[in-house]
Amino acid sequence: MAEFTLELNDDQKQVRDWLHGFAADVIRPAASEWDEREETPWPVIQEAAKVGIYSLDFYAQQFFDPTGLGIPMAMEELFWGDAGIALSIVGTGLAAVGVLANGTEEQIGTWIPQMYGDPDDVKVAAFCSSEPDAGSDVASMRTRAVYDQAKDEWVLNGTKTWATNGGIANVHVVVAVVDPELGSKGHASFIVPPATPGLSQGQKFKKHGIRASHTAEVVLEDVRIPGHCLLGGKEKLDQRLARARERAASGGERVKNAAMATFEASRPAVGAMAVGTARAAYEVALDYAKTRTQFGRPIIDNQGIAFQLADMRTQIDAARLLVWRASWMATTGKPFTSAEGSMSKLYASETAKKVTAQAVQILGGNGFTREYPVERMHRDAAIYTIFEGTSEIQRLVIARTLSGMPIR
């Protein structure tokens, strides 16, 4: 049994410092340009691929860190550099996790390398679940996947929205309804291979923040994919659907809990992204408060400023501890009896929004301009309370978990 410690070990510190160097030297200097261009920063992704940060190996290493801190530490450092660029670097990982979680060994080996490409020809991947009428309410998804037994093909039809890397991805992972009677338990995930006819990009969104990250609709019109593109395979799907039907008849509680556990394990990573952005804005504000002089003294000499900075730092550290706790719980298999994963995402994302707004205020007029990075960080921070479950949905999950009541 390991002794209790919150200190990173030497290997973790080395990785953290390496990532921090990349974030400081490569990501941060490029942040403003790609935010203005509102385009995927391919050269930065390529640079990340060359040094080994944009690769499955890197994420696998962090993911299998036995303390659980590998992923949150990596997310915090990359998003400290810049949220839009960092999401362009880690967005493929969201799709890769979809394959790792549900795919067979063969599917993992075939598709994940195609998601990343190689350093001389980098590719990205997209995970497409949300739809225009199915955001928080995932169960109302309408994209259909129908099996054509004669050809051993699946036929996908529907419109996905908000897909990070949607339409520009080499590989799309698409969640679709295979049994409409079963709600979210009747969903399955599919690989849409590169250049499959029928898949096209709909509108690309012009966003408030994380503008270097590509977000778009994905339209699926009679997209035919081979049977082997169903993640996990047909036999496993049929067994799962049969179990879901049985459980639906007897209350459906266990299936629901399994899905919730997956979210609890993935949400701390988003919390860590929020911690990175919050920390970045806090550091800029602290420096500025120490050097900006008004009334003959640095503005930090005023308690009104100094106490804000004290609160900002306290909340950032508290957010990180919640994230680390939840990540440690996920890795060590502890049950999320109080929705600790959702708690970490809720608190960290709300902290990022608050702290970045305070940073803008502390920089005064400069904070309101694009000459200083806190303006961008404040816009970027707004995403954390929206994607991977809004703050309201996190509160719903936490309240239901704590109370055992079907709170609406």
Ligand X SMILES: Cc1cc2nc3c(=O)[nH]c(=O)nc-3n(C[C@H](O)[C@H](O)[C@H](O)COP(=O)(O)OP(=O)(O)OC[C@H]3O[C@@H](n4cnc5c(N)ncnc54)[C@H](O)[C@@H]3O)c2cc1C
Q: Among the candidate windows 57-65, 108-116, 157-165, 235-243, which touches ligand X by CB under 6 A?
A: 157-165
**Do residues 212 and 144 lie in contact, with contact meaning Cβ atoms separated by under 8 Å?**
no
Q: Binding pattern to ligand X, positions 223-252, x when CB under 6 A?
A: ------------------------------
What are 285's two structure tokens?
Answer: 């504000």
The catalytically annotated residue of 3, 38, 388, 392 is 388
111 vs 127, which CB is nearer to ligand X? 127
35 vs 65, which CB is nearer to ligand X? 35
230 vs 383, which CB is nearer to ligand X? 383
Q: Which residue type is seen at 197?
A: P
Burial state string for 66-100 with b = 16 or more CB within 10 A and e = fewer than 16:
ebbbbbbbbbbbbbbbbbbbbbbbbbbbbbbbbbb
Of the residues 306, 321, 382, 396, which one makes contact with ligand X according to CB under 6 A: 396
Of the residues 178, 188, 383, 398, which one makes contact with ligand X according to CB under 6 A: 383
Closest by alpha carbon to 69, among 5, 11, 8? 8
User: Closest approach of Cβ 210 to ligand X, in Å?
Assistant: 6
Q: Among the candidate windows 143-151, 187-195, 327-335, 392-400, which touches ligand X by CB under 6 A?
A: 392-400
What are 192's two structure tokens?
Answer: 């849409």
Q: How far is CA 358 from CA 289, 349, 353, 365, in A?
A: 12, 14, 9, 13
Contacts of 208 (CB under 8 A, 6+ apart): 379, 382
Closest by alpha carbon to 370, among 162, 152, 170, 209? 209
DSSP secondary structure of 244-257 = HHHHHHTT-HHHHH
User: Closest approach of Cβ 110 to ligand X, in Å?
Assistant: 22
Closest by alpha carbon to 69, among 329, 328, 336? 328
User: Closest approach of Cβ 165 to ligand X, in Å?
Assistant: 7
Of the residues 136, 203, 257, 262, which one makes contact with ligand X according to CB under 6 A: 136
Q: Among the candidate windows 99-107, 286-294, 306-314, 385-393, which touches ligand X by CB under 6 A?
A: 385-393
Q: Binding pattern to ligand X, positions 164-203, x when CB under 6 A?
A: x---------------------------------------
User: Closest approach of Cβ 313 to ligand X, in Å?
Assistant: 28
Contact between 26 and ligand X by CB under 6 A: the answer reads no
Quote the CA–CA distance of 43 and 93 in Å, as a whole number.
18
Of the residues 162, 347, 372, 384, which one makes contact with ligand X according to CB under 6 A: 162
- DSSP secondary structure letter of residue 207: -
Tell me how many residues contact ligand X (CB under 6 A). Answer: 20
107 vs 394, which CB is nearer to ligand X? 394
Contact between 127 and ligand X by CB under 6 A: the answer reads yes
User: Closest approach of Cβ 231 to ligand X, in Å?
Assistant: 15
The footprint of ligand X on residues 82-101 (CB under 6 A) is 94
- Using a 10 angstrom Cβ sphere, with 0-12 exposed, 13-18 middle and 19 or more buried, the burial of residue 297 is exposed
Which residue carries 């994905």 as its tokens? 218
User: Closest approach of Cβ 98 to ligand X, in Å?
Assistant: 10
User: Closest approach of Cβ 345 to ligand X, in Å?
Assistant: 12
Q: Among the candidate windows 126-134, 189-197, 283-291, 345-353, which touches ligand X by CB under 6 A?
A: 126-134
189 vs 308, which CB is nearer to ligand X? 189
Contact between 44 and ligand X by CB under 6 A: the answer reads no
- In degrees, rounded to 5, the angle at the alpha carbon of residue 88 between the alpha carbons of residues 145 and 326 is 80
- From the CB of residue 317, how many other CB atoms can be counted at a distance below 10 Å? 13
User: Closest approach of Cβ 73 to ligand X, in Å?
Assistant: 23
Closest by alpha carbon to 77, among 212, 282, 279? 279
388 has catalytic annotation: yes
Count of alpha carbons within 13 angstroms of residue 205, beta-carbon side: 18
Read off φ and ψ for residue 128, nearest 5 degrees: -115, 100
Q: Among the candidate windows 14-22, 28-36, 207-215, 246-254, which touches ligand X by CB under 6 A?
A: 207-215
DSSP-derived pairing of the beta strands 125-128 and 171-177: parallel
Contact between 386 and ligand X by CB under 6 A: the answer reads yes
Residues annotated catalytic, as ranges: 388
- Provide the binding-site residues for ligand X, judged by CB under 6 A: 94, 127-130, 135-136, 162-164, 207, 210, 215, 383, 386-387, 390, 392-393, 396
